[in-house]
Amino acid sequence: MTTCITICDTCKRAGWEEGDMARTDGEALAELIEAAAEGTGVGTRRVSCLMGCKRACNVAVQAPEKLAYALGGFEPTREAAEAIVAYAVAHAESGTGQVPFRAWPEAVKGHFVARLPPLEGES
């Protein structure tokens, strides 16, 4: 199974209420990520709340038997979406999920919140 980007589609950044509120910041970022991920082999899915609300917008990068990462503090921009997808592609290409720092897209630096080791043993 390939790497999947889990995107919180209920995230709202500070000041969201001052816009037209037609959609959340998370929905806007999700649309951009889904478009950027097309044809890359990386999967996407939306969830409502990753419990990082104060650091909106939030995503997670996961794959079975690999290190998983939570990232936050993104603005819903094309630059952020493309960087998240590029990082997820590198995660997919890595045997362990660990992407060397030199390969990190610039726009994901400073956005890592947590790294979770894969579960081991029988379930």
Query: Where on the chain is the footprint of ligand FES (CB under 6 A)?
Result: 8, 10-11, 26, 49-53, 56, 58
Smallest distance, Å, CB 121 to ligand FES?
29
- Min dist CB 76 to ligand FES, Å, is 12
Q: Give the end-to-end CA distance of the chain in Å, rounded to a whole number.
A: 18
Q: How far is CA 72 from CA 1, 39, 40, 119, in A?
A: 24, 24, 22, 23
**Runs of H (alpha helix) within the chain:** 25-37, 78-93
To ligand FES, the closest distance from the beta carbon of 44 in angstroms equals 15
Around 98, how many Cα atoms within 13 Å sit in the side-chain half-sphere?
Answer: 4
